[in-house]
Amino acid sequence: MTETTIGEEDAATDGLAVRISGLRKAFGAKTVLSGIDLEIRRGEFFALLGPSGTGKTTLLRILAGLELPDAGTVLAARRRTTVYQEPRLIPARRVLANVILGLPAAAREAGRRALAEVGLEGYGRAWPATLSGGEAQRVALARALVRDPEVLLLDEPFAALDALTRLQMQELVAELCARHRPAVVLVTHDVDEAVRLADRVVVLREGTLAVDQRIDLPHPRDRNSAPFADYRRLFLSHLGVVPASH
Ligand SMILES: Nc1ncnc2c1ncn2[C@@H]1O[C@H](COP(=O)(O)OP(=O)(O)OP(=O)(O)O)[C@@H](O)[C@H]1O
């Protein structure tokens, strides 16, 4: 029996942005996700960690509506938008046109405001080719922001950036999400990124949710603090990178 529903009514009434139950997804004979039950609240910042090939991107694509599950129910708030590892800008359109792509011309002012929010005030008439990698990714963030998403899907959005820019972008995303409060689903390989940003971290292993851990630290989080290091160690051990502490 296969049932797939993407709707917002039920989720909207009880403070949830996403509700997944009994999700299963296979590609051919290979089961990628199974028995996934997950609820994400409005305003919650949720991170999905896991080794390569465990189905993180597949889960995100299902949430975006780009893949259908083989079984289970997916309910999600209607306004969902994704930021990818690459900025995916259209080279022949100026920055502002990229930000408001598909929106009415009246969105120009909101597009300019979104650019200012990501630190790119005055960049509206620039061409994508003239931007650095970090700037291009800021434009991608502005393009997401201007759509006022209820659910913001981040698919390794900083993975292609240099280490310093990545840290700056993480701080920017923390600030933007604290202000706009979308539900966020961040797929990442970066344990520090998850601990810096997320209210809750799930480790996906072999297609199931192996760990579901709340991060109980105030913002902004100090990456050098002892509790931060404890969370880092916890997730690294769940990922099999360091031995579990005693
Ligand atoms: N369209 C597809 N057709 C066939 N197999 C697929 C398809 N999409 C994903 N897969 C397979 O499903 C598994 C999970 O892929 P997925 O991209 O979701 O993993 P991931 O955890 O995001 O990995 P990574 O961290 O490397 O991005 C992989 O084995 C992948 O080869």
- Please work out whether the CB of residue 25 comes within 6 Å of at least one atom of ligand 1: no
Q: Which atom of ligand 1 is nearest to the CA of 59?
A: 18
- Please work out whether the CB of residue 54 comes within 6 Å of at least one atom of ligand 1: yes
> How many angstroms is it from 60 CA to the middle of ligand 1?
11
Q: Which atom of ligand 1 is nearest to the CA of 50?
A: 21
Average model confidence (pLDDT) for the chain? Answer: 93
Closest by CA position to 27, among listed 3, 51, 61, 50: 61
Buried residues in 79-115 as b, exposed as e (16+ CB within 10 A): ebbbbbbebebeeeeebbbbbbeeeeeebbebbbebb
pTM over 0.90: yes
Coil, helix or strand at residue 82: strand
Sheet holding 71-76, edge to edge: 30-41, 16-27, 71-76
- Please work out whether the CB of residue 63 comes within 6 Å of at least one atom of ligand 1: no
> How many angstroms is it from 78 CA to the middle of ligand 1?
25
- Please work out whether the CB of residue 188 comes within 6 Å of at least one atom of ligand 1: no
- Please work out whether the CB of residue 224 comes within 6 Å of at least one atom of ligand 1: no
Q: How confident is the model at residue 14 (pLDDT cuts 50, 70, 90)?
A: confident
- What pLDDT, on the 0 to 100 scale, is given for residue 9? 55
> How many angstroms is it from 15 CA to the middle of ligand 1?
31
ipTM of this complex prediction, to 2 decimal places: 0.96
- Please work out whether the CB of residue 81 comes within 6 Å of at least one atom of ligand 1: no
Q: Which tens digit of pLDDT belongs to each residue from 92-110?
A: 999 999 999 999 999 999 9
